[in-house]
Amino acid sequence: MSNLNLHRSRTIASILWTVCLLVLISLPAHGKIDPRGVYQPVEPTADQSRANILIARQLQFGHYVDKKVDEDVASRALDAYLDQLDKQRLYFLESDIEEFERHRGDMERALKSGRLDIPFRIYNRFQQRTIERLEFALSLIEDGIDEFDFDGDEEYKLDRSEADWASDREALDVVWQDHLRNAVLNMRLDDQDDEAIQSTLKRRYESRLNRVFEPRSEDAFQSWMNAFTRLWDPHTQYLSPRSSENFNINMSLSLEGIGAVLQSENEYTKVMRIVPGGPADQQGELGPADRIIGVGQEGDDHMVNVIGWRLDEVVDLIRGPKESKVRLEVIPAGATNEMSTTEIEIVRDEVALEEQAAQSHMLEQERDGHPWNVGVIEIPTFYADLEAARAGDSDYRSTTRDVRKLIDNLKDDGMDGLVIDLRNNGGGALSEANALVSLFVEAGPTVQVRGADGSVQVFEENNTDVAWDGPVIVLVNGLSASASEIFAGAMQDYGRALVMGSQTFGKGTVQAVRPLNHGQLKITQSKFYRISGDSTQSRGVVPDIEVPSRIRRSQIGEAALDDALAWEQIDGLDHQVYFDFSGVLDNIRERHHERFSRVPEYQLLLREIELMEDRENRTHVSLNADKRRAEQDELQQRQLAIVNERRQLQDKEPFDDWKAYEEDAEANRAMARRSRMSEDGPDFVIRESSNVLADLLEKDKGFASIFHDRDGTEAAARD
């Protein structure tokens, strides 16, 4: 207790000074004073206050959504801020929340006038509570995890976002004891010994504790402003001066990095998508919804724990010299055990245009002894070598130019139908999406862009040199976004293609970056609409023929984001409909479902999706070691059965047990995420898309004669 007596012996003047500055120095549990000293609170600056006022004005008068800063918005901003700081309710006490509630009525005036004392007070309190919790956790670890009891009937609540706030420190101690017991049990079930577990947990919590003792005023301001700006939509955000400098790299680590789009989610750095052709894509193991918790450098065995780090600082660790290596410690998406991580080594490099380029191949489908040649063109992204174009290179690379050449080659080889594969294509150059439509459609509109003032700009292509006027299937999935959605939507609206796959990402908004006196504001100022008048926002493009996907819209997709703008409609544009598929679609779907139900890979996919949903829908896990192991064994056996059946389809030896699978898991994971065209041939979705095209082309169904030559005469049915 000597430390406590020392603390009480401080002078009255020092105590009053501490209270006035809202330092909130209450001793951590067990009366220990951290050798780092005491937390020094952060304070707002005049520049930040001015930026707050400018942001509020920009949101009210420049955002696509007409919304005012009023009492309701200010109240929601406070709730969003608390949620952003402590979503799982592991730090704040009920008394803290009651204190903050007294300021709810002051938030509207504070936002309009740039008063930052309340949000900074909340931020400093959160830092203080974080120190208390981390030191409590470290004290439990120091006392020895062998004292933890795993013989009872208690359960651990996986999601505490709707739980009651802890009534006092003692109640929060119980929550954290269960939090630690769950982590320890996870690691024991992963066959880690107690010494390794203790070392890992201690390293993680000490790393986070060190971060808390390095507060920045800008962190508090950025947290508050982003809780406020995202009430308009999730893509509107304040960028600090440092974030502004690294904006392009933060959004896509394509320059001397790994080629991944990252975002902060709670205390984690989450992978949103992989840049096609980038180092991560080539390496093959990192995937969407993976969470990066550690970063290590080449030649250094030490892995830096980055839980709780700022996104720009994680980016700085991942970036590095070309051809150097970076190691990432990752919690895989859908992991049954969050303490079970994998290490991925990636060689840093620039994204090569050649690796992003469209590629093609030909498939043959036979019906009643009659062969149909189906061309497949895979487009990883919408690209254009603008530097070469500006330099006057007449043969510069672009999506549209490359696809035209591929179509010509496929036509020379006798192509009867075409599949355009846009799965995992996150977008790119809007101009290329528009131009690509013109390869299949004569002059006409491709997309509408509506501004905040209600004005509508129409993008259209006047090219009449159609490259392909035969039947088309466009393949999409939940990672097909932005420009991919514009192309797929236009092809669907024109009746030039059947869209097949799963519902697309749904990002249908356009942002601009506006300078402030301090940092920048990325603000949504317009919205995409299809020529039919439907927006692509939130809903994306709904396929004509649905194929289930492992990609969970609850994890990846616009609609999964808080305060995402809603789907809506405006007036459609006059446009030609080349073919009304409604008369044949029911028949096509019936044949597809009947055929797909017999495909072993499809049945395995359904079982895999069911397993993922069972994991995702869990609300509690047992803290009894025997019950927990039984739960884990059951999930592992289900997954292993799926893996082995898939291996048998590939003429590979099944794994004897889960351990054998785990030892080869990285190779399996990499293989699953690599190009869909492998040595074993096309995946079953591409094969089925070629079957659907064969359905369209079959002469006895009359589908072969529905497309017309450009001079207006009907194309002859193939003999």
Enumerate the active-site residues: 482, 493, 507
Question: Which tokens hold the place of 439?
Answer: 């390869």
Mind giving me the DSSP string for 353-376? Answer: HHHHS-EEEEEEEEETTEEEEEEE
Tell me the angle at which helices 430-437 and 399-412 cross, rounded to the nearest 10 degrees.
Answer: 30
State the Cα–Cα distance between residues 502 and 145, nearest whole angstrom.
Answer: 46
Give the three-state DSSP class for 558: helix
- Residue 90, beta-bridge partner list: none
Nearest CA to 123 among 222, 261, 38? 222
State the Cα–Cα distance between residues 258 and 318, nearest whole angstrom.
Answer: 7
Number of neighbouring beta carbons within 10 Å of residue 478: 24
* Site of tokens 């931020």: 123
Environment class of 368 (CB within 10 Å of its CB; exposed 0-12, middle 13-18, buried 19+): exposed
Question: Which tokens hold the place of 694?
Answer: 């064969």
Q: Roughly how many angstroms between the first and final C-alpha of the chain, as a whole number?
A: 95
Runs of H (alpha helix) within 370-398: 386-390
Mind giving me the DSSP string for 603-642? Answer: HHHHHHHHHHHHHHT--EEE-SHHHHHHHHHHHHHHHHHH
Q: How many residues does the chain have?
A: 719
CA 343 to chain centre: 20
Nearest CA to 415 among 364, 350, 359? 364
Q: Encode 39-62 in three state secondary structure.
A: CCCCCCCHHHHHHHHHHHHHHHHH
The secondary structure of residue 700, as a DSSP letter, is G
State the Cα–Cα distance between residues 155 and 153, nearest whole angstrom.
Answer: 7
Question: Which tokens hold the place of 319?
Answer: 């970036």
